[in-house]
Amino acid sequence: MKGAVDLDILIPEAKLSARVLELGSEISHVFRGGEPPVMVCVLKGSVVFLADLVRAMDIDVNVDFMSISSYSESRSSSGVVRIVKDLETDLTGRDVLIVEDIVDTGLTLHYLRRTLSARDPASLRTVTLLDKAVRRIIPVELEWSGFEIPDTFVLGYGLDHEGLYRNVSDLIVVPDIAHLVAEPRMYVAPLWPNAAPT
């Protein structure tokens, strides 16, 4: 298998990092002079983006984490989600920024915006690194978006398949999803030749 799998990079690390720097600067500009915004990281995929984004900002911020899950396998079509881990921060009167790695159908973000706006924040905005706009089922407001991407399956920079590949620095596109489903570790050896075999 080793060496037999080509890695197709959709967005290389350097381009991701340049765009994150721009976003950090634009977002800092909007919040400068006010209370520190609460940056709400939606686990788990957004952690890599959040970690880079906060360090690209030159204002003080608060960070909090939220984990949501579907009631069933059908979240992508139903949008019915539940909170697995809630925020620890009281959002009342705060400027809130939802940090997402990807917006696809929009159902997750729609739910989040509705849920968080019910907590009386002073403002509620969203930044997403990736916007798969062609897949949208429900329109959602995106104040900042890093890249609009086509309807392809992507991995890396926080995005996973079966929990793997979040620690890849580039954004990789998967041309053959059936192959990945059959062989979830197919990219491990090409990415990390020294990874222990399983």
Active site residues: 104
Q: Is position 142 an interface residue for ligand PRP (rule: CB under 6 A)?
A: no
Pick from 102, 127, 172, 174 the residue near ligand PRP by CB under 6 A. Answer: 102
Pick from 95, 104, 131, 170 the residue near ligand PRP by CB under 6 A. Answer: 104
| Interface stretch with ligand PRP, choices 4-12, 99-107, 142-150, 184-192 (CB under 6 A) | 99-107
| Interface stretch with ligand PRP, choices 28-36, 102-110, 116-124, 169-177 (CB under 6 A) | 102-110
Q: Is position 106 an interface residue for ligand PRP (rule: CB under 6 A)?
A: yes
Q: Is position 108 an interface residue for ligand PRP (rule: CB under 6 A)?
A: yes
Three-state SS sequence of the chain: CCCCCCCEEEECHHHHHHHHHHHHHHHHHHHCCCCCCEEEEECCCCHHHHHHHHHCCCCCCEEEEEEEEECCCCHHHHCCEEEEECCCCCCCCCEEEEEEEEECCCHHHHHHHHHHHCCCCCEEEEEEEEECHHHCCCCCCCCEEEEECCCCEEEECCECECCECCCCCCEEEECCHHHHHHCCCCCHHHHCCCCCCC
Pick from 20, 103, 154, 172 the residue near ligand PRP by CB under 6 A. Answer: 103
Q: Is position 154 an interface residue for ligand PRP (rule: CB under 6 A)?
A: no
Q: Is position 91 an interface residue for ligand PRP (rule: CB under 6 A)?
A: no
Binding site for ligand PRP (CB under 6 A): 42-46, 76, 100-109, 160
